Amino acid sequence: MRKRVSFTIADVPNFKNALLCWAGQFREVVWLDSNGHKDAYGAFDALLAVDALTSLTTDAKQAFDDLKEYQQRANDWLFGYLSYDLKNDVEQLDSANFDGLHFPELHFFQPKKIIRITANKVDFIYLNMVDDEIEGDFKEVLETVIPEKDPAVTKDIHIKLRIFKDEYFRRVDALLAHIHRGDIYEANFCQEFYAENTVIDAFRTYLKLNAISQPPFAVFLKLEDKYLLSASPERYLKKSGNKIISQPIKGTAKRSKDAETDKLLKHNLALDEKERAENIMIVDLVRNDLSKSAKKGTVIVDELCRVYTFRQVHQMISTVSASVEAHKNPVDLIRETFPMGSMTGAPKISAMKIIEEQEAFKRGLYSGAVGYITPEGDFDFNVVIRSILYNATKKYVSYSVGGAITAQAIPEKEYEECLLKAKAMREVLEDY
């Protein structure tokens, strides 16, 4: 059982920063921030979970069965992540590429302490065993002072490419050969940028990345010495009551400081036949995934190829929804749609096999999902993109970007789009 106590806060931005700084004392932290984006499905402005009572950490083997059992046993709030490589639990696939980060493939925990911000109200939702700490914790947060930058951080971070430009072109050509042969229609091909022997201040790095992008599905995640700093603009899957919603992104255009030019860039993206074709292919894939769980005839495309504007880029987003039976287990809903179509390709299984052959790194948490499951079985998960991953013990920093390869793809333009997507992460890391 949980106790909820509410407070009013005057300065929400400063309170959020202080709250996240305060959370750093705990072994496990999940912070979700909508950055003020108001969509039809949002449930809060920010949500924090810390201080695990119980947890589940596992590799891909029988991961969804283990998570389902854990969710049913806990019957409480769970926060955590699903790595992309859980594809190996869903299908007969493997992940043999280089892994510099070494994150567990699945991790969820039942927090003793949940703190939720909605407008200028903050709710402390604590398990009864710690509910006597609410007043003291609220006071601690209010008194938290953001410390000076850690002097141990690496200056002049040297970012390397896992594959160089010519090799990227060669691998895209190999994907195009598969497409022209009819093996697949589309594949999301990703590449890694990384830095070794590097120390970063994860808290400050997240704040800088979030300030640049201010996305609707931002995440700060800490699991002991491992961190995810995510400026994700994309929702993977949400369940609210008997409704499930997916919002795949396919289609990216740069922003301009000139208002008229920016408006034209947005307009051109909306009409771009290649980008629309990529988006519609993934919408069809998502419709198929949702139909595995949905009541017959309830899968609907609510929005098709609508262009949304973010601080760094314009994005083409579609919304697909469906109705499910009330008794349907939330973990089964996730299993039947995972990994998300926007990060795989079509047909999905063939695309994932070919992606594994052509990519030079293990995706791990990148292109996985972070989120929560409620005691009622509702949930909301993002897509882990536009993100920095950090293993503090190994002093290894990584960010990855990708794009959809279709028959119309021009390798040079795909490479330019990757650099555009990587811009915010590179800026943050190079500005030490």
| Residue 150 within any structural domain of the chain | no
Burial of 350 (0-12, 13-18, 19+ CB in 10 A): middle
The Cα-based distances of 237 to 303, 339, 340, 412 in angstroms read 15, 10, 8, 32
Q: Where are the beta strands (DSSP E) in 178-216?
A: 186-195
Q: Residues 286, 241, 38, 23: is their CA dihedral positive or negative?
A: negative
Taking the C-alpha atoms of residue 34 and residue 48, their distance in angstroms, rounded to an integer, is 12
Q: Which position has the token pair 């800490």?
A: 222
Taking the C-alpha atoms of residue 254 and residue 311, their distance in angstroms, rounded to an integer, is 10
Q: Is 243 a catalytic residue?
A: no
| Residue 237 within any structural domain of the chain | yes
Which of 22-36, 37-51, 160-174, 264-278 has the lowest average pLDDT? 37-51
Q: For residue 186, name the pLDDT band (cuts at 50, 70, 90).
A: very high
* pLDDT at 288 (0 to 100): 96
* pLDDT at 80 (0 to 100): 98
* pLDDT at 151 (0 to 100): 82
* pLDDT at 351 (0 to 100): 97
Q: Which residue has the higher pLDDT, 40 or 356?
A: 356
Which of 186, 192, 234, 414 is labelled catalytic?
234
* pLDDT at 405 (0 to 100): 96
In the predicted model, is pLDDT for residue 12 greater than 80?
yes
| Residue 48 within any structural domain of the chain | yes
CA atoms within 13 A on the CB side of 209: 33
Burial of 284 (0-12, 13-18, 19+ CB in 10 A): middle
Q: Cα angle vertex 363, ends 152, 43, to 5°?
A: 85
Which of 30-44, 84-98, 230-244 has the lowest average pLDDT? 30-44
Which residues does residue 186 pair with via DSSP β-bridges, in sequence order? 346
- Joined together, the tokens standing for residue 139 give 């006071």
Count of other CB atoms within 10 angstroms of residue 416: 13
Taking the C-alpha atoms of residue 59 and residue 362, their distance in angstroms, rounded to an integer, is 14
Q: For residue 43, name the pLDDT band (cuts at 50, 70, 90).
A: confident
- The predicted model gives 185-211 an average pLDDT of 97
Q: Residues 420, 425, 426, 432: is their CA dihedral positive or negative?
A: positive
Model confidence pLDDT, tens digit, residues 338-385 = 999 999 999 999 999 999 999 999 999 999 999 999 999 999 999 999
- The predicted model gives 407-432 an average pLDDT of 92
Q: Is 250 a catalytic residue?
A: yes
Give the range of the structural domain holding residue 279, as residue numbers without chain letter. 2-142+157-430
| Residue 360 within any structural domain of the chain | yes
Which residues does residue 402 pair with via DSSP β-bridges, in sequence order? 190
Q: pTM of the predicted model, to two decimals?
A: 0.96
Model confidence pLDDT, tens digit, residues 62-73 = 999 999 999 999
| Residue 174 within any structural domain of the chain | yes
The CATH number that applies at residue 379 is: 3.60.120.10
Q: For residue 42, name the pLDDT band (cuts at 50, 70, 90).
A: confident
Which of 222, 238, 250, 266 is labelled catalytic?
250
In whole numbers, what is the pLDDT of the chain averaged over residues? Answer: 96
* pLDDT at 222 (0 to 100): 98
Q: For residue 38, name the pLDDT band (cuts at 50, 70, 90).
A: confident
* pLDDT at 227 (0 to 100): 98
Q: What are the φ and ψ backbone dihedral angles of 318, each rounded to 5 degrees?
A: -115, 155
| Residue 149 within any structural domain of the chain | no
Rounded to the nearest angstrom, the gap between the alpha carbon of residue 67 and the centroid of all alpha carbons in its chain is 19
* pLDDT at 106 (0 to 100): 98
Helix (H, G, I), strand (E, B) or coil at 113: strand
Model confidence pLDDT, tens digit, residues 80-138 = 999 999 999 999 999 999 999 999 999 999 999 999 999 999 999 999 999 999 999 99
- The predicted model gives 163-168 an average pLDDT of 96
In the predicted model, is pLDDT for residue 432 greater than 80?
no
CA atoms within 13 A on the CB side of 255: 15
* pLDDT at 95 (0 to 100): 95
Based on the structure, what is the number of domains in the chain?
A: 1
- Joined together, the tokens standing for residue 153 give 């951080």
* pLDDT at 39 (0 to 100): 80
| Residue 192 within any structural domain of the chain | yes
CA atoms within 13 A on the CB side of 420: 18
- The predicted model gives 323-352 an average pLDDT of 96
Q: Which position has the token pair 């109705």?
A: 323
Beta pairing class for 243-247 and 369-373: unpaired
| Residue 399 within any structural domain of the chain | yes
In the predicted model, is pLDDT for residue 209 greater than 90?
yes
3-state secondary structure 65-89: HHHHHHHHHHCCCEEEEECHHHHHH
- The predicted model gives 279-299 an average pLDDT of 96
Instruction: Say what percent of the chain tops pLDDT 90.
Output: 96
* pLDDT at 41 (0 to 100): 85
